[in-house]
Amino acid sequence: MKNQEEKIIDYLYGELKGKDLQDFESWLMKNPKAMEEVKQLRDLRAALKSIPDQEVIVPSELTGPSQSGAGKGRSRLLNGAFLWAGAIAAAVTLVILVGVALGVRIEAGGGQVVIAFGDGIEDSRQHETPGDLLTKAEMEQILAKREDALQSEIGNSIRDIRKDLDEDLNTRLASWSSGGSSKGISGQAEMNKIIESLRQELQKDNEEYLNHVLTEFYMYMESQRADDLQYYQARLNNLEDETNLFQYEAGAMLTSLTGNPVFGNNK
Amino acid sequence: MQKETLLDIAMMHADTLVDKAREGNREAQGRLVSLWYKRIYNFAWKYFNNHDQASEAAQLTFISMYRNMGQLATSSSFKPWLYRIATNACHEEARKSSRLQSFFEDPDSGLKEEIPTEHVGDNPEAKYMSLELSDQLVFILNKLPHEQKTVVVMKEFEGLKFREIAEVLDVSENTVKSRLYYGLAQLKKLIELHQIDLKLS
């Protein structure tokens, strides 16, 4: 036979059924002290239910790469504030580099400070009223314009270098061939071949370097975009999980209520 | 045909997730963490009444879950299995903090002496007025012996069945009921001692 404590617990938590329940309730009626104890324990349980759950954010390190959006092997430091600080620092560095390449202009007056690269301070001012913020589209347009300017600048540089190189070579070849001989003519052709090969090599290197810079830039922009998307996806997942858990808890509560004989008796 | 409850749907969903996680699917494991983190954190928070310790215990629990997921026998035993890990993590964390506290406190001090004096001055009722009832309850809950506190939290807040608690703690159901009874009785005494008014709930 179960002892009294276990029976009280069984009764409180709806574990007593049928005849056991009836027997226990009639025993309670005859024992006011036990009845009072059951009442106090029931009040205590009700009070414990008033303790709310603490809201907590799941650490992204624990939810794995697919949930948090953190890349494989990405360290803890690269998450959250560090990631954003790094991204901002990289963006500012990039802007400064572009500014140095294209020439930066700073103008103050009229209650505002304007920082611009290359020409076009006047144009940009015509489109913006003081205090206006750039929209995403405007920013993309500016970046695209700067990118075109950068490309054109680099293209011009390559053309200039090639032109200088050609001129220099032609001058040297002309002076060399002026004292020519049959042996010299054969040597000149060979030299031309080597120079042409070197020039192609140089051009290829320049193009590769340019492509590399542009690819890096696009990858950086893509990575920023992907990080933003992953951040919002993670937020969305958290909300979804909260909802799932809420549904689960609501279901558990309903099941618990419907399975509780105390409520059954009240009906 | 019996209508499916939200709980049934949730359980089916959870079982599928657990199966995938057992097979080593990282996404499923991550989703399990998202689904259970709040519960385990709150279990630990009621155990410690301290955010840092609760976070530490919750994180240890899920790190251990990741490491040992393959050893889980069946998906249906996931819940008690996870709570067993959480209980061990809480005990370990409590041991660590008690070792630290032993440098500053008298290790032989009893239950009453552990209660901060600002809560039990000349007029305890007045001093408690600044605290919410739930804060007071968590405070006294934290004064229970570990074994009783674990059972009370699992039953009252986590809604585990007696069978599941017995499985988690590796004791009989009767032992669980006995610990629960004495835990609740002890809480009742502490409530009287600190003159907490339960009607506020």
pLDDT in tens, A20-44: 899 999 999 999 999 999 999 999 9
Is the separation of the CB atoms in B93 and B53 below 8 Å?
Answer: yes
Is the separation of the CB atoms in B78 and B72 below 8 Å?
Answer: yes
pLDDT tens for chain B, 201 residues: list them. 445 555 556 655 677 888 888 888 888 888 889 889 999 999 999 999 999 999 999 999 999 999 998 888 888 888 899 999 999 999 999 888 877 666 555 544 444 444 444 444 555 554 455 457 888 889 899 999 999 999 999 999 998 999 999 999 999 999 999 999 999 999 999 998 888 877 665
Model confidence at A112, pLDDT cuts 50, 70, 90, reads: low
Round the CA-based radius of gyration of chain B to a whole number and report it: 19
More confident residue, B165 or A256: B165
Contact flag B30-A254 (C-beta cutoff 8 Å)? no
CA distance linking residue B115 with residue B108, whole number of Å: 14
CA distance linking residue B44 with residue B54, whole number of Å: 5
**pLDDT score, position B2:** 46
Q: Name residue, tokens 């803890």.
A: A76
Most confident listed range (A113-117, A234-238, A252-256, B137-141) = B137-141
Residues 97-126 of chain A whose Cβ lies under 8 A from any Cβ of chain B? none
* Nearest chain A Cα distance for residue B182, angstroms: 8
Minimum-distance CB partner of B41 among A49, A56, A242:
A56
Contact flag B182-A5 (C-beta cutoff 8 Å)? yes
Model confidence at A119, pLDDT cuts 50, 70, 90, reads: low
**pLDDT score, position A150:** 81
**pLDDT score, position A101:** 72
Contacts of A41 in chain B (CB under 8 A): 184-185, 188
Neighbours of A183 (CB within 10 A): 8
Residues 224-243 of chain A whose Cβ lies under 8 A from any Cβ of chain B? 237-238, 241-242
Contacts of A24 (CB under 8 A, 6+ apart): A7, A10, A11, A16
Is the separation of the CB atoms in B77 and B31 below 8 Å?
Answer: no
* Nearest chain B Cα distance for residue A68, angstroms: 9
Instruction: Identify the H or E element spanning B21.
Output: helix B6-22
Q: Is the pLDDT of residue A152 over 90?
A: no
More confident residue, A226 or A78: A226
Contact flag A41-B184 (C-beta cutoff 8 Å)? yes
This prediction's pTM = 0.51
**pLDDT score, position B109:** 47
Choose, out of A15, A44, A68, A249, the residue to mutate when testing the contact with B (most B CBs < 10 Å).
A44
Instruction: Identify the H or E element spanning A106.
Output: strand A104-109
A48 at B interface, C-beta within 8 A:
yes
Mean pLDDT within A155-173: 83
Residue count of chain B: 201
**pLDDT score, position B116:** 46
Residues 59-88 of chain B whose Cβ lies under 8 A from any Cβ of chain A? 59, 62-63
What is the chain A residue with the closest CA to B12? A248
**pLDDT score, position A160:** 86
| 8-state DSSP, A114 | E
| 8-state DSSP, B71 | G
Contacts of B162 in chain A (CB under 8 A): 13, 15
Instruction: Identify the H or E element spanning A132.
Output: none
